[in-house]
Amino acid sequence: MRDSIGGPGIVSLAVCLGLLGMWPWGSHPVSARETPLLQEVGLSPGQKLPTVTLYQADGTSVPLGGKKPYFTVYLAGCNTCQIFLGKVDSFEQIARDFTDCNVRFYHLHKGLVHPELRNLLDPYTLRERRLLIEQFGAELQSRIPWLVDGPEGKLSSIWGKAVPNLQLVVDPQGKIVHASEWGDPAALRQVLQSIFLGWQSAGTSTSFSAETRFNPLRRADLRRSGTTWQHIDKPLYMPPLVVEPVVDDPERSYFVKLRVEAERPTLKGKPGRLYLRFDLDPVYRVTWDSTQPIVTAQFRTPTPRPQLLQQLPAPARAVAGSDPAEWLLDSPEGREPFEVRLGYRVTDAEGQTTEAVQRFVVEWREAAG
């Protein structure tokens, strides 16, 4: 299987001198824009990348670090970042121009930067992350494959959410040749040309033709089907609380994502209002089933011995289509973590109905971001 631009093909020595080591490993020009942030996360020139297993949309594993018989370009980004989207054309063209060189290109999805711009939701499992990058690749019609972190989130724990538009060039020894906090097509092209000295191509260009230029209008429209949907009335500022989904099967579909907000006095043990919003994840393309009561929700004590704390009433407003189900209610007593249990039915585009139960543990502390 060919999993990246350039692939494993062996090319003419006259085209790519780096192929047989005519540019000795470790002595090729190192280009990097050193910043405190890059140094902090271990991305200085000459440093090796961590040994982390990443995954393509089809489940194929790809090691981030370690030795490889080729150079590797990693371009971090996501389909909610306008800065990244504005450079997709240029990255794709560079990958095409260097097809005959011993280099592979990957887009690296480190997380949703601006999910609110696309009404996207953070995935809960590796399967959902793979679905997300499969969607990205289809929308962008990208020849460069996407990679995501493994189920343990090892790369995220090392790099955090820093350098969301990171650009890296790594040599066959796994050492960093070039690093930049922000994707820079011009700098990337210059670095690759310096590595593959003598490389020439009659088809080299710096931009796509009008026929192949990326058009945002061709992206699948994943916005909510309920175009008139608006939030229920609630206090102006309610900080989000930490919500941990209970993932009992990494291969099942977690159609619903929960957001919980609370009035600030509740974080200090005082009475207040609590806001719950259950969103259908657009990656699944499902709607609430309208033939049965749509959702039932409970507050419970966490496992191993859950006890019912409160049976929630119907949502604050009847929901339909893919609109969120919302509640605004008094916060439960006590400030120990509590579990939210949601039962619901959804219908997919083929009319197949699925009944499911999801659980979430909510902590009385403010979530980051």
Q: In this predicted model, what pLDDT tens digit does every residue of 232-255 receive, in sequence order?
A: 888 888 999 999 999 999 889 999
CATH annotation of 241-366:
2.60.40
pTM comes to 0.75
Contact 253, 284 (CB under 8 A): yes
| Alpha carbons 74 and 57: distance in angstroms, whole number | 16
Q: Is 308 helix (H, G, I), strand (E, B) or coil?
A: strand
Residue 279 has pLDDT above 70, yes or no: yes
Token pair in block for residue 295: 């959702």
Sequence ranges of the chain with CATH classification 2.60.40 = 241-366
Percent of the chain with pLDDT over 90: 38
Q: Where do we find the tokens 């966490």?
A: 302
Nearest to 99 by CA among 139, 46, 130, 144: 144
What's the pLDDT band for 97 if we cut at 50, 70, 90?
Answer: very high
Sequence ranges of the chain with CATH classification 3.40.30.10 = 17-218
Quick one: fold of 17-218?
A: Glutaredoxin (3.40.30)
Q: Give the tens place of pLDDT for each residue, 47-88.
A: 898 888 999 999 999 999 899 999 999 999 887 888 888 899
Q: What is the DSSP-derived secondary structure letter of residue 233?
A: P
What's the pLDDT band for 109 if we cut at 50, 70, 90?
Answer: confident
Token pair in block for residue 51: 């040994």
Token pair in block for residue 337: 């973590």
**Which range, of 137-151, 273-287, 294-308, averages the lowest pLDDT?**
294-308
Token pair in block for residue 224: 């909510």
Contact 244, 250 (CB under 8 A): no
Nearest to 274 by CA among 228, 310, 318, 319: 310
Those residues with Cβ within 8 angstroms of residue 21's Cβ, 6 or more apart along the chain or in another chain: none
Handedness of CA 102, 134, 253, 111 (dihedral sign): positive
| Alpha carbons 328 and 290: distance in angstroms, whole number | 22
What's the pLDDT band for 294 if we cut at 50, 70, 90?
Answer: low
